[in-house]
Structure 1
C-alpha cells in the first residue's frame, strides 16, 4: 500500500498502526520538514521522496515504484484509517486470486473533530483507492484532488468505508491547505476540459459554471439538501467551511481575469 505524505508526523503513526502486519507499506513524501520520514522508516515502511506534482501524478509515481514488486496498490492518506473489516474484504476479494476488475472504488466517512458526519458531505462518495499496478493510470479531473482513473478500466465498489479525519481542530491549517487546493482546481480547469477522462461528478461541476451563485448554493446543498442540519454543530461547521472554500475558488477566478 502507498501513503502520500507532507509534514504528517502528527497523523502518520495512527494511520500506520491501523495497517495489519504483513502488508508492505510505501510512503511517498513530497518534502516534509518534520519527522514524517523517520516515523515511516521506524515503522518498517519504504520511503521515497518525490516533489509534489499533483494528486494524479503522485499516485502514478507510486504505481511505477511498485511495478514488479506488487500486483495491487492500496492508496491511503495519512489522515485516514482503514478498518479491519476492509482488510478482511481485501483478503477475500483480491489477495486470494485474480479478480476480474482493475480498480476498487471505496467510500469514506468524514470525521469532523472526532465526530462522524452522516449527512452533510452528501454520501455515498467513492474514491478509486485500490488499483492494479499494470493496468491503471490516474489522470487529473479538475476538482482539486484529481483522483480519476483513465478508461478503459474495470471497476467495482467496496461496501466498507474508511474514516477520513479531514479536520482535527486546526482551522488555520485546514484553510491553508484548501487555499492550495482551490488554486489547483481553478488552474487545472482548462486542462481538464481537454481530456476525456472526467468523472460524472466533475462533469456536473463544470456544467454548473463558476458564478457567485455557487457560494450560497454550496451552503444549501450541504446543509439543506443533504441534511447537514442533522449532524448538529459539526454539520453546520462543515457546511460553512466548504461554503468558504467555494467562495475562495470564486475569488481566485476573478483575480485571474484581471488584466
Structure 2
C-alpha cells in the first residue's frame, strides 16, 4: 500500500539512520542526483530501488518519482535522508488507512534538530510539508520561494498530528551557508504558483515583501516571539543562522536592483 521515496545527494552520513527507521515491509526507492560518496552503496545494500536524475528542484524530483520510477502502490511517502519518521506514523497509516480515502495529500509536521538537539521553540511550529501523497492524483509544483515544493489546491488535503524528526544541521556551517546562498538567490522575488496550496507562514512571507525590516523581524520571530531563548544556545544559533539567511536574501535583492539600475 505504501512506497517510501528518498531523495539523495551525498547522504552517506544520514541515510543509514533514515533507512533503519523505515519498516522493512515497505519498498524504498532512492532517487539520487549525483552522489560521489557511499550513498548508492548504502541504498543498494538495504535493497532499495535506485534511480538517478540530475537535480531539477524538489517539486520536479518528486514528480519524477511519481511518474518515472514504476511505483505501483497507491500511496507514496516522501522522506528526505536527514529525516526520521517515528514508528507510530507508520502504525497510524496502517490503522487509519480507510480514513485516508477522502484525501490526496497529507500535510505532515516536522520537529527540527540542530546538532542533535531538539528545538522545541525557535523554529515556530507547526511546520507542515506535503509528504504522504496519493500516487494517481497528486503532483508537485514549486512554492512561493522558488526552491520548495507545494501541491495544487485541487488536491484534497489532510493534516497529520504526528511529526517527523528533521536533523537538518550537524554543525557544517560553511556548507550550510554555501547551500543557502543559492536558495536565497531563488527567494529574492517571491512568486507564488497559481493554485498552489500555501501555508500561513508562506502567505505572511509574500505579504511582507523584501523590506530590510525582515532581517530584524526574523531574529525577533525565532528568538523572542517564538521563545527560541528557551532552547538555550541552540535556539540562539538557529535564530542567527536564519537571520543571516534573511540578510543574504535582502543583499542579493539589493544588488540585483542596483545592477538593473
TM-score, normalisation: structure 2: 0.93
2:226 aligns to what?
A: 226
Cα distance 1:213–1:76, how it changes in 2: closer, same or farther (>3 A)?
same
**Across the two proteins, how many residue pairs are aligned to each other?**
255
Cα distance 1:105–1:218, how it changes in 2: closer, same or farther (>3 A)?
same
* Correspondence 1:166-185 to 2 at 5 A: 166-185=168-187
2:158 aligns to what?
A: 156
Is the CA contact 1:138–1:148 (under 8 Å) kept in the aligned structure 2? yes
2:110 aligns to what?
A: 108
CA distance in 2, matches of 1:33, 1:251: 33
* Correspondence 1:31-110 to 2 at 5 A: 31-66=34-69, 69-94=72-97, 99-110=101-112
Of the three residues 4, 7, 11, the one matched with 2:10 is 7
Is the CA contact 2:104–2:156 (under 8 Å) kept in the aligned structure 1? yes
1:119 aligns to what?
A: 121
1:205 aligns to what?
A: 205
1:244 aligns to what?
A: 244
Is the CA contact 1:26–1:45 (under 8 Å) kept in the aligned structure 2? yes
Q: CA deviation at 1:145?
A: 4.0
Cα distance 1:144–1:122, how it changes in 2: closer, same or farther (>3 A)?
farther
Identify unmatched segments of 5+ residues in structure 1: none
Question: What is the Cα-based RMSD across aligned positions, in Å?
Answer: 1.6
Of the three residues 132, 143, 146, the one matched with 2:145 is 143
Name which of structure 1's ranges 33-42 and 12-21 shifts more when overlaid on structure 2: 33-42
CA distance in 1, matches of 2:112, 2:16: 19
Q: Deviations over 1:223-259 (max 9, x none)?
A: 1110111111110000000000101111111222214
Q: CA deviation at 1:23?
A: 0.5
Q: Deviations over 1:60-103 (max 9, x none)?
A: 11111355511111000000011111110111122x68621111
Q: Secondary structure at the match of 2:51?
A: strand
Q: Secondary structure at the match of 2:188?
A: helix
Q: Deviations over 1:172-210 (max 9, x none)?
A: 1211221122122236x3xx3462325143222111010
CA distance in 2, matches of 1:230, 1:206: 28
Q: Secondary structure at the match of 1:135?
A: coil
CA distance in 1, matches of 2:197, 2:72: 30
Cα distance 1:89–1:176, how it changes in 2: closer, same or farther (>3 A)?
same
CA distance in 1, matches of 2:71, 2:119: 39
Is the CA contact 2:144–2:193 (under 8 Å) kept in the aligned structure 1? no
Identify unmatched segments of 5+ residues in structure 2: none
Q: Secondary structure at the match of 1:186?
A: coil
